[in-house]
Structure 1
Amino acid sequence: MKFRAVIKKSGEWWIGWLVDLQGVNAQERTREELIESLSIGAQDMLDTEIRCEPESQITTIEIPDPAWVFEHSGNLL
């Protein structure tokens, strides 16, 4: 799976967050450490058990890749 991440250098730190998974953000000393922390955060969030109410269902949906995936594929994680 791929998720969009906004990352930037802020002073001595690299900061970033995942656009597609609210709540996944990180701050690290290097770009590589930041990417790794965001990846771990995404994995942890996706591994979190989701409880359903009776009569509810959990399902997945698939959508086509948006145009930006093809236009900017060199800049993705």
Structure 2
Amino acid sequence: MKKPIVYNNVKKFRLLMNMTQQELADKALVHRQTIVSIENKNYSPSIVVAYAISIAFEKDIKEVFYIDEGSVT
């Protein structure tokens, strides 16, 4: 079994909400660099951070973070 790849819509939702990376980081209680790394797909956040980001966007976590089902097999 391959390690699943976690994809995200963080940058998409952040831009739709006219939010800076720093503003999102402040709302999610993380460093701005964490947001940069997530948006660049260099870092898969913990469930706690992913949930905090989803709350900041007022979205379901599955709308913000998802796994491509084909990457799991």
**Fold shared, TM-score > 0.5 on shorter chain:** no
Q: Which has the higher contact order (CA 8 A, sep 6+)?
A: 2
TM-score (structure 2 length as normaliser): 0.25
Higher percent of residues as strand: 1
Which protein shows a greater Rg? 1
TM-score (structure 1 length as normaliser): 0.25
